[in-house]
Chain A
Amino acid sequence: MPLVNLTAREITCKLVYYGPGRCGKTTNLQYIHGRVPENRRGRMVSLATQSDRTLFFDFLPIELGVISGFTTRFQLYTVPGQVYYNATRRLVLQGADGVVFVADSQARRFDENVESFKNLQDNLLEQGVDVRQIPLVLQYNKQDLPPDLILSPAELDDTFNFRSVPSLPADALHGTGVFETLKALSTVVLQRLAARPPSL
């Protein structure tokens, strides 16, 4: 659950970017880090291997501003996408208030997307969270690639969007769809918070 400080009127939410290796999770955070004014964000922490693959997580705190009288902050995390880092993925997912599932739109990466999405469901279930309940947004990244190499958002929706959650096409490298994705998840997470009582 989001952490709510009723005294200081602050809300902090943990949002996790999930998806297969090299789908663009870290790129999303790097783009946000580069575009959000410095006084509204913290340092971006990347625990990565020497070849810049995410080893544990990337972390970026941002301040959204005052929403209905509450200073609202988001903690953005990515998980390592590679299959054998599942133990660390589970740890990062712990206590998530919302998830962005970043799918790689390339047709040849379809199976990795499916495997990662199933892995997300398994890891949530292990923590007692039903994937049908947690705020979720789908981002179909790399839609800038030639059409013959990628699946369309409608085709990807057929496989992944059984809950009719917000789904957005993106080109995270150039920023297309990055803020829209974050905005969509922010809205769902805060709507859920408004409907439910807070807890520490």
Chain B
Amino acid sequence: MRTIEPWVERPLTTFVAEAQVRVALLMTSSGQVVAQHGFTRSLDVMTAAALGAGIVASTREIAREMSAGTFGAVVHQGPRLGVYLMPFEMPGGTWIGLAVFGPDTSLGIVQLFFGKLVDDLVREAPREAPTRQVLPETFEDDLNQSLRALFGR
């Protein structure tokens, strides 16, 4: 389990245990990872988040084009695994949850506990955004060094 903010960890851990999902991912609507459980490589998480956010964004756009209000969850059920994708509102904007589940649970259970997860997250979210200086003024030298190391020039 990895989270951006510590307050996300408890609700997500509870959701994973209760809903018996194999993978859980929380992201912003622009595809930035907020928290994850079940992935082994951080770069793979980013790919899943980018694709998940893309699916939700395009589904919402279809709803808008068709004047259909908003669509709820997107669910894909395969022979072995199912994927549940659901946008929800947090105090700081829209987040998206993605859960991958197997035959040891069901869509109904995942939906049920996802609703509880959203309630828990909204309740525990801090009401004010932190205002802190992140990078020291010397970061540019570090940046140039990293870019040289990565790109070999």
Q: Which residues of A contact B135 (CB under 8 A)?
A: 67-68, 70, 190, 193-194
Chain B stretch 50-78: residues in CB contact (< 8 A) with chain A: 50-51, 54, 57-58, 61, 65
Report the number of A-B residue pairs with Cβ-Cβ less than 8 Å.
150
Of B14-22, B23-31, B81-89, B112-120, the segment with at least 4 beta carbons within 8 Å of chain A is B23-31
Does B146 contact A197, Cβ atoms closer than 8 Å?
no
The complex places the Cα of A198 from the Cα of B134 at a distance, in Å, of: 7
Interface size on A, residues (CB 8 A): 55
Give, as a whole number of angstroms, the nearest-CB distance from B105 to chain A: 28
Q: How far is the CA of A183 from the CA of B143 in the complex (A)?
A: 9
The reply to whether the CB of A65 lies closer than 8 angstroms to some CB of chain B is yes
Question: Is A59's beta carbon under 8 Å from chain B?
Answer: yes
Which of A71-79, A103-111, A113-121, A159-167 faces chain B?
A: A71-79
Closest to B9 in A: A7
Considering the chains assembled together, what is the distance between the CA atoms of A68 and B147 in angstroms?
A: 13
In the complex, A174→B151 CA distance in Å? 14
A11 within 8 A of B: yes
Which of A34-42, A130-138, A142-150 forms contacts with chain B?
A34-42
Does B4 lie at the interface of the complex (its beta carbon under 8 Å from any beta carbon of A)?
A: yes
The answer, among B42, B50, B134, for a CB contact under 8 Å with A45, is B50
| A61 close to B (CB within 8 Å) | yes
Beta-carbon contact of A187 and B130 below 8 Å: no
For residues 1 through 29 of chain A, which have their beta carbon under 8 Å from a beta carbon of chain B? 3-8, 10-12, 14
Tell me how far the C-beta of B46 lies from the nearest C-beta in chain A, rounded to whole angstroms.
4
Structural contact, A88 and B139, CB atoms closer than 8 A: no
Given contact pairs A91-B54, A94-B30, A191-B140, A65 touches B43 in the complex (Cβ within 8 A):
no
Partner of B43, one of A8, A61, A187: A61
Query: Is A186 interfacial (CB 8 A cutoff)?
Result: yes
Q: Out of B132, B142, B149, B153, which one reaches A197, CB within 8 Å?
A: B132
Q: Contact string, A160-200, partner B, CB cutoff 8 A, digits 1/0? A: 00000000000000000001001100110011011001111
Q: Report the minimum CB–CB distance from A11 to chain B (whole Å).
A: 7
- The closest CB in chain A to the CB of B32 belongs to A3
* In the bound complex, CA of A187 to CA of B140 (Å): 7
CA A5 to CA B34, docked complex, whole Å: 9
How far apart are the CA atoms of A57 and B47 in the complex, in Å? 12
Separation in Å of the B106 CB from the closest CB of chain A? 29
Query: Is there contact, CB below 8 Å, between A197 and B147?
Result: no
Known: A12-B33, A67-B142. A94 touches B50 (CB 8 A): no
Chain B residues in the interface with A (C-beta under 8 A): 2-6, 28-34, 41-44, 46-47, 50-51, 54, 57-58, 61, 65, 92, 129-140, 142-144, 146-147, 149-153
27 contacts between A and B (CB under 8 A): A3-B32, A4-B134, A7-B6, A12-B33, A12-B46, A35-B151, A41-B43, A42-B43, A42-B44, A45-B47, A59-B51, A61-B43, A61-B46, A66-B142, A68-B135, A73-B42, A87-B61, A88-B58, A91-B54, A95-B28, A95-B30, A187-B140, A193-B134, A194-B135, A194-B136, A199-B129, A200-B5
